[in-house]
Structure 1
Amino acid sequence: MRKPAALLANSPELPRSPEGDPVFAEPWQADAFAMTVSLYEKGVFSWSEWAEVLSQELYRPGRRADAADYFDCWVAALSRLVTELSITSKADLDQLSQSWQRAAAATPHGKPIRLDNDPLR
């Protein structure tokens, strides 16, 4: 049986280095990948569930022709799975996202973004 990270690393259209390893343009992309691997390893969703939802996001109308939105699709797929599987609600996910955006806006350039920096928290 293949390791979960190896399965996810074979996701359609995943950006890769010349050696075949996943590449991430931003730290949040690596975080999203790691969260997905962790949830898959814990049995929260199956490979077929992940592949189906990710494919739906990757092939939805309005996608960027240059695939620069690949990890946006990845996060959308992960968000869908955790809400459809009732791990969290869409409202809770939206609230957390808004908190993160406020924290990002309040964080000095070059410093790590922490939810504690959300002025409304």
Structure 2
Amino acid sequence: MSSDLHRSRTLQYLDAYARKDLDDVAALLAEDVVLRDWTIRVVGKAAALAETRKNFEAVQSLVIEVLQLHQSEAAVAAELRILIDGAQELFVTDVIAFDAEGRIAAIRAYVGRGDAS
């Protein structure tokens, strides 16, 4: 798979996530996807979608701004600014790995901070 396809699929995933579209997120995930962030780690599409559904239900709106994208042959790192319900701001880096078919095989999310002091 090409890194251009991985970049495109990463942007599709982030767009679907911001729209809170569980079906579109599901279409991009491999069956054995691993989802890990600063609070959870789950394995398998059903478990990842259950966690994603919880996140969607916990908020009214999500705005995801892509600050940087970095690509390798098998993964994309996306530095993000996420605005939750118009008030809470998170800075997150998602490292998204792909399988041989171009599906998302792993999402590792790391929380950070913005540049303001």
Return the TM-score normalized by structure 2.
Answer: 0.32
Larger radius of gyration: 1
In terms of fraction of residues, the more strand-rich structure is: 2
